[in-house]
Amino acid sequence: MISRQKTDPILFVGAGPGDPELITVKGQKAIQSANVIVYAGSLVPPELLDRSNDQVKTYNSASMHLNEIMDIMISAHHEGKKVVRLHTGDPSLYGAIYEQISILKAHNIDYQIIPGVTAAFAAAASLRIEYTIPEVTQTLILTRMSGRTSVPELENLESLARHQSSMAIYLSMSLIDSVASILSRTYGEKAMCAVVYKASYPDEKIVHMRVEALSQTIKALKINKHALIIVGKPLGLQSSGNYRSKLYDQHFSHEYRNHVSESKT
């Protein structure tokens, strides 16, 4: 009886938003044990590759097309090597992993996904805000403007922005005039917004402004990529605002805690 060598699944790993310490423990272990790493060289922190083993072979996918990337991964997998496809942020968001997964499935190759921290959450940490505040907004929209990669008509920015929820707009700095125009019509010119450039990187930059000044400000600063536009009511709230969740309300009971009765005087 011929025994087949057991091969490891190909791992899609989220590298996080930029700070090399924001990768998950599971993601770092995958890097350390990998024989082959294909990484998104435009944004993956080089420090993460320094944590790999001495025998690892790395490939920068920045200049590669899809077939080149997949040929490397599939060939290494068939050789019995541990393969990591290292993406920025979280692979599930603007990671283009669907097309890679489809090819792996066609070749009957197993894969797993290790999540990462996306830039919207690193930006919220830097802005020191909560996207979902009781009685203010309970929805966060992650989206982008339609550009060279189109957006379905029902998901166009203007339609989504009418909800006036918290919103993080990715991959849209080159279309800042259009973004600013849409946000002016939906959130209002006086609404607060912020741009976070290279969230969690050492050279991170945060700019607060009203929507009416968005386009002019960003052009003056020459921020044209690697940035998120954040808009929504949490940016305009004072920290002293009296918005309380039921989770920690002493007068609210749930399965772990009974409510506290008010004392009678």
CATH assignment at residue 88: 3.40.1010.10
DSSP assignment of 122-184: HHHHHHT--S-BTTTB--EEEEE--SSS---GGG-HHHHHTT--EEEEES-GGGHHHHHHHHH
The more confidently predicted of residues 251 and 17 is 17
Residue 258 confidence (pLDDT): 62
Residue 257 confidence (pLDDT): 58
User: Which one-letter DSSP state was computed for residue 254?
Assistant: B
**Average of per-residue pLDDT across 67-93:** 97
Q: Are residues 133 and 94 in the same domain?
A: no
Residue 47 placed within a domain: yes
Domain that holds residue 64: 10-114
Model pTM score: 0.88
Residue 38 placed within a domain: yes
Q: Are residues 231 and 123 in the same domain?
A: yes
Residue 5 confidence (pLDDT): 57
Structurally, the chain folds into a number of domains equal to 2
Residue 4 placed within a domain: no
Q: Are residues 46 and 101 in the same domain?
A: yes
Closest CA to 81 of 92, 73, 89, 70: 73
Domain boundary among 114, 130, 148: 114
Q: Are residues 97 and 123 in the same domain?
A: no
**Average of per-residue pLDDT across 165-185:** 97
Which CATH number do you get for residue 163?
Answer: 3.30.950.10
Residue 3 confidence (pLDDT): 39
**Tens digit of each residue's pLDDT (9 = 90 or more) over 125-138:** 999 999 999 989 99
Residue 54 placed within a domain: yes
